[in-house]
Amino acid sequence: MRRLRAEHLLPLACAGGAALLAASEFMNTFKFNAAGPTPVDVQTAADQHHYALVVLAAFALIALVIAVVTGSKPAATAVAICGAVALLLFLLIDLPDVGKVGSINEVAAPEAKATPAAGFWLELAGALVLAICGGALATLSSDQLRAFARSTAERREKLRLRQEKAHPKPKPRPRKASGSGKAS
């Protein structure tokens, strides 16, 4: 069995963190609970950040692809910076609103307390994974960064050869020459 190495797992973890971050932007960040069992209102992450997390996640994925394909250390550092910025957005915008009573941004809910919803936790997880794994990715050498792209290319080539061996292409039949060779 092949041992999985950091240069193979870190790009996958960074891509997963970016996906979590982007998904959190389309979920509810807070539920506003009053005295009753039913939430009074909800607030989406898009209301809080105006889709900034989607932009950060997309930029992180683009930088990740560049880092893995070309071995670019600045691109790997950009992945870590995207994670750090997402974490800052979480800490400065979302975290202070936990437990707040009243309105947050456009959501007016007097007498209601803001409690974290699934999007809040997904945003935290995505930002942490992207920041930590992006930071670790930035410490890899250019050769290590390219190792993921090389290993996937090698796997694709082995799979192609195995498929060709299992299902060989039929040899083309020689064409018969036409017998009507009249000269004009």
Confidence of residue 30 (pLDDT cuts 50, 70, 90): confident
More confident residue, 74 or 160: 74
Angle formed at CA 121 by CA 63 and CA 46, multiple of 5 degrees: 65
Does the predicted TM-score (pTM) go above 0.85? no
Q: How confident is the model at residue 8 (pLDDT cuts 50, 70, 90)?
A: confident
CB 109 within 8 A of CB 103: yes
Domain assignments of the chain as residue spans, ordered by start: 6-166
pLDDT of residue 163: 81
Average pLDDT over the chain, rounded to an integer? 84
Check: CB of residue 14 under 8 Å from CB of residue 134: yes
**3-class DSSP state of 2:** coil
pLDDT surpassing 90 at residue 80: yes
In this structure, of 12-16, 51-55, 145-149, 152-156, the range with the lowest mean pLDDT score is: 152-156
Q: Which ranges of the chain does DSSP label H, i.e. alpha helix?
A: 6-24, 45-49, 52-70, 73-89, 118-138, 142-166
Check if the beta carbon of residue 63 is closer than 8 Å to that of residue 24: no
The C-alpha atoms of residue 14 and residue 133 are separated, in whole angstroms, by: 6
The whole-number average pLDDT for the span 56-75 is: 95
Q: Which of 66-70, 96-100, 132-136 has the lowest mean pLDDT?
A: 96-100
Q: Give residues with Cβ within 8 angstroms of 19, minimum separation 6.
A: 57, 126
Residues ≥6 apart with Cβ < 8 Å to 67: 11, 73, 75, 76, 78, 79, 137, 145
The confidence band for 62, taking pLDDT boundaries of 50, 70 and 90, is very high
Residue of 125 and 155 predicted with greater confidence: 125
Say which residue, 108 or 136, is predicted with more confidence: 136
The whole-number average pLDDT for the span 47-52 is 86
More confident residue, 108 or 86: 86
Q: Answer whether 56's CB lies under 8 Å from 162's CB.
A: no
Please tell me which residue, 66 or 43, carries the higher pLDDT value. Answer: 66
